[in-house]
Amino acid sequence: MTTSRRVAFNDGNAVPQIGLGVWRTPDEEAASVVETALRAGYRHVDTAKIYDNEEGVGEGLRAAGLARDELFVTTKVWNDDQGYDEARRALDASLRRLGLDQVDLYLIHWPSPRRGRYVDTWRALIAAQRDGLARSIGVSNFEEEHLERLIGEMGVAPALNQIELHPRFQQRSLRAAHARLGIATESWSPLGQGKLLIDPAIARVAAKHGRTPAQIIIRWHLDSGLVVIPKSANPNRIAENFDVFGFALDAEDMTAIHGLDNADGRIGPNPMTADF
Ligand code: NAD
């Protein structure tokens, strides 16, 4: 069954391998988009305080009528809320907007090195997990040196690091660090924000399997052991992006997609220099 594919965390919990991303889904559309995805079989939704749609997401979660323990909800602490007290207040506010007592995964959205507060923020997340407000805790956009510092100073490794990752920016060295440190990898902008859907190499693999480019790319993430959170607000595409188990990529396909990796393939900000 599709919904049973999960990736294990270092804290004993696990995450459904496909989730719905809702960045740029307006709050007023989020309820129906989330409900549509849950009815299509998704059990995992990825939001953030900065997406400004946690209320709509919460409404959609309730509308689908599923038991709480069937759902996996991620949200993130924004850069302005970094710091021990600030992060705890931010989590309380996110929970209120979502209408939940606990999130399944709470992430530090960016390390924001210039603020120098991500270790203090991590301390707040460790306390939040202890207090039952977050089942698992992790980070996003952390580079290896940031991960090493958290683990060195606090002794707790993130369950997961959510990073920009798609066939044109495969993050092989950071993934190797994750494997060494016991951290799951989650791919943001897994379709390259849609730009990869017209790549000729992807199109060839799609034609070979009679599948869409989006399905090929999502399947590549899954077969690479990654957690993947494609975004769509369109019901047909939401269903298409989850219908990825009726075919298999072979070694030739994996090699072709492997070959698209490009050191300059990053679309989003570089976490070392991002200044927001
Ligand atoms: P994505 O790679 O998921 O691409 C989304 C775009 O692809 C959509 O807007 C749509 O135009 C197109 N698309 C999706 N499915 C399609 C289909 N089947 N056919 C044709 N076109 C299709 O991009 P994203 O939204 O940037 O990333 C996904 C999620 O990752 C976000 O919604 C968010 O939850 C998360 N994210 C996190 C960070 C972070 O800093 N942690 C940054 C960016 C995104």
36-51 pLDDT, tens digit per residue, is 999 999 999 999 999 9
Write the pLDDT tens digit of every residue in 3-13: 469 999 999 99
pLDDT at 1 over 60: no
- Which protein residue's CA is at the shortest distance from atom 9 of ligand 1? 232
| C-alpha to C-alpha distance for 86 and 202, rounded to whole angstroms | 44
Mean of the pLDDT values across residues 47-70? 98
- Which protein residue's CA is at the shortest distance from atom 38 of ligand 1? 188
Task: State whether the Cα torsion 105-106-109-113 is positive or negative.
Answer: negative
pLDDT at 270 over 90: yes
Could you tell me the strand order of the sheet in which 184-188 lies? 20-21, 44-46, 72-77, 103-108, 134-140, 160-164, 184-188, 227-228
What was the pLDDT predicted at 251? 97
Q: Which helix (DSSP H) or strand (DSSP E) does residue 161 occupy?
A: strand 160-164
Residue 189 CA to ligand 1 center (angstroms) comes to 5
What was the pLDDT predicted at 276? 84
Mean of the pLDDT values across residues 228-244? 98
Mutating to test ligand 1, I would choose from 15, 22, 23, 50 the residue with most ligand atoms within 8 A of its C-beta, which is 23
First and final C-alpha spacing in the chain: 41
Phi-psi region of 41 (alpha: psi -120 to 50; beta: other; left: phi over 0): left
Mutating to test ligand 1, I would choose from 33, 47, 193 the residue with most ligand atoms within 8 A of its C-beta, which is 193
Contact between 228 and 18 (Cβ < 8 Å): yes
pLDDT at 91 over 60: yes
- Which protein residue's CA is at the shortest distance from atom 27 of ligand 1? 189
What is the residue-averaged pLDDT of the chain? 97
User: Which of 213, 108, 114 has its CA nearest to residue 150?
Assistant: 108
What was the pLDDT predicted at 4? 67
Domains of the chain in start order, with CATH, are 6-194+227-233 (3.20.20.100)
What was the pLDDT predicted at 234? 98
Q: Which letter does DSSP use for residue 168 in this model? A: T
- Which protein residue's CA is at the shortest distance from atom 16 of ligand 1? 237
Mean of the pLDDT values across residues 128-154? 98
What was the pLDDT predicted at 275? 80
pLDDT at 65 over 80: yes
Mutating to test ligand 1, I would choose from 105, 191, 193, 227 the residue with most ligand atoms within 8 A of its C-beta, which is 191
Q: Which atom of ligand 1 is nearest to the CA of 231?
A: 3
What positions carry a catalytic annotation?
Answer: 51
- Which protein residue's CA is at the shortest distance from atom 29 of ligand 1? 21
Q: Which atom of ligand 1 is nearest to the CA of 166?
A: 2
| C-alpha to C-alpha distance for 209 and 147, rounded to whole angstroms | 39
pLDDT tier, 2 (very low <50, low <70, confident <90, very high otherwise): very low
Residue list, ligand 1 pocket, CB within 6 Å? 21-23, 46, 109, 140-141, 162, 188-194, 197, 212, 214, 229-232, 237, 240-241, 268
pLDDT at 217 over 70: yes
Phi and psi at 106, nearest 5°, equal: -120, 125
Q: Which residues are annotated as a binding site for substrate?
A: 109
